Amino acid sequence: MCGIAGMVRADGRPAEARLVQAMTDVLSHRGPDGDGMFIEGPVAVGHRRLAIIDLSTGDQPMFSDDRSRVVVFNGEIYNYRELRRELEASGVVFRTASDTEVLLRSYEKWDVGCLERLRGMFAFALWDGGRRRLFLARDRVGIKPLVYAWDGRRFLFASEIKALLQDATVSRDLDWDALRDYLVFHYIPCPRTIFRAVRKLPPASYLLLEEGRSEPEIRRYWDLRFDPQERREEEWVEGLRWHLQDAVRSHMVSDVPVGAFLSGGVDSGSVVALMAQASTTPIRTFSIGFDEASFDELAYARAVAQRYGTDHCEFVVKPDALEVMPQLAWQLDEPFADASALPTYYVAKITREHVTVALSGDGGDENFAGYRRYAAAQRRHAGLDAFPGVLGRMAARVGAAALPSTARGRGYLELLGAGPVDRYFRMVTYQRDATLGRLLTAEAQRQTGTRADDGRFGTLAAASGAPDYVATLQYLDVRTYLPDDILAKVDRTSMLVSLESRVPLLDHVLMEYVATMPTRLKLAGDTGKAIFKRAMADALPDSVLERRKMGFGVPLGQWFRRELRDYARETLLGSRARQRGLFVPAAIEGLLAEHDSGRHDRSASLWALVMFEEWARRWLDG
């Protein structure tokens, strides 16, 4: 796990070594174990290393034998040993024991086709001097980040936006569409960033910048296709067990200590169980709890730890949002309003005191239809999108249109009256057209517009090829919420403390296998992860298998009525926020009053506004 950065000058002028050094320096949290740089003519690449595999000879940048090709790499290639054996059989000679060299040799053998052979999480940049070509790529589901800026003269890339902003010529002008996306989703979907001059390389994509071409070329090399097949259920269960064991075992490869986050849910509990089965020594597990009982899962985590005799560490934390928010605003680089970043940061910080690598259970909900919203969407779909239910949908639309925009119940009628994809969009977003209109000032509205839905979900759903409604929703989440919220959160918070987080449930071989299962095996009635739970039934305590799903959250609603009450008012209605001219003070006053009175829970919207202001103070005000 590392941080990478670099530049290529299309105008032929020499690359600026001091700038690239500054870019890598600001990424030191991603790689505290060493740094390196290559600079030659218009090209410079830099690297910060967190040493995980091949501690003695795995330094980067890494060069081809004739030094015409150089690579900087962030991530892990879990099948690097198998690829190495295949390459050696064809005559390739290796100088190191690292997966980085396997990546470089794979490119030399298969060009960009090497991506199809890689099993892992990665973001890398490879300069091919012989072909005068820069090759950037990102893993299939977007576990590792990669951003870039291009002004027609210089191409800059890095693991985090803050590295690009070391160049004072990279504009900090807002991307107004991204601001609208943030208010709607509470994260900024790829490829936008909050800065107009900076883009994210999408997951499962690669970028080529070749000499003589005026623009970079971006291509997608993988997509998850749902192709249900019919087999006996017992065959599916056995096949799933094998793929789960294979994915977890492959993700345990390391030359440094490995542990696991253990939240007390099925996903992380399954990962720990499979790790314990594959290991000859006790697994190290880490859990955090909270004083608020409704947010505490320590008892469930402890049951799994005791069952497998793990070396278990648990801590009760009292999240201090006022202390951590400025730090997160700096690390996240752009506005981000998923409040579970707070507990994720705390468990990463505690875990890093003991190990360098931790496996997590992220991805289980997307893979196995575990979100409760899938079941809710399916019920509404069955009732509203078939004749004569479609008449009810039409009636709901008519009823919603007849009510004032602020009327109680209008939002629910709009939800019932929407089409299947639009209904899901409304279920997973936070602002409607009317609320954007009330919240944004007239000037901000001129820039962003007030239409919450830009058609993204409809476009993705049409391209998904999914055979049923729930599979379509899973596909939407894999392409949006998973990489741009869940994985972004885990990467930024864990790398802030120099911890490598791995996600075996998002192993692409496992995902492709699960995508061939009929939806009824994953979502059985209102029960999500049905086949996953069956496959792990003998491995987990009943208390874990049967418990209701609990999100990894914090008591925001209480905080905004207690600890954060005065802070929120001062931050959102103070002179600095007013001078930005983005949000209507009276609208914010209304949100604060509604939440404080208990009439409505506005904590999610308030958190998004507070995190935006915290971000703006660091990245706009300097």
Q: Tokens 């409304």 identify what position? A: 426
Q: Tokens 């800026």 identify what position? A: 149
Q: Which of 85, 188, 73 is nearest to 488 (CA)?
A: 188
Instruction: Give yes or no for a contact between 76 and 120, defined as CB atoms under 8 angstroms apart.
Output: yes
Q: Which amino acid is at 514?
A: V
Q: Which of 254, 223, 218 is nearest to 146 (CA)?
A: 218
Q: Which tokens go with 305?
A: 């730890």
Instruction: Give yes or no for a contact between 125 and 71, defined as CB atoms under 8 angstroms apart.
Output: yes
Instruction: Give yes or no for a contact between 219 and 153, defined as CB atoms under 8 angstroms apart.
Output: no
Instruction: Give yes or no for a contact between 411 and 432, defined as CB atoms under 8 angstroms apart.
Output: yes
Please, how many CA atoms are within 13 Å of residue 367, restricted to the half-sphere of its CB? 25
Query: Is the previous residue joined to 388 through a cis bond, with omega within 30 degrees of 0?
Result: yes
Q: Buried b / exposed e across 437-467, counting CB within 10 Å, b at 16+?
A: bbbbeeebbeebbbebbeebbeebbeebebe
**Helices 603-619 and 565-573, interaxial angle, to 10°?**
50
Alpha-carbon span 621 to 227, nearest angstrom: 50
Q: Which of 299, 342, 298, 304 is nearest to 323 (CA)?
A: 342
Q: Which tokens go with 213?
A: 């071409």
Alpha-carbon span 592 to 601, nearest angstrom: 10
Q: How far apart are the first and last CA of the chain?
A: 29
Q: Which tokens go with 548?
A: 């209701």
CA distances from 200 to 75, 141, 408 (A): 17, 13, 39
Q: Which of 499, 67, 430 is nearest to 254 (CA)?
A: 499
Alpha-carbon span 141 to 448, nearest angstrom: 29
Residues annotated as catalytic are 2
- Write phi, then psi, for 469 (nearest 5 degrees): -65, -50
Sorted by sequence, the CB contacts under 8 Å of residue 272 that are 6+ apart come out as: 260, 262, 283, 285, 304, 305, 308, 310
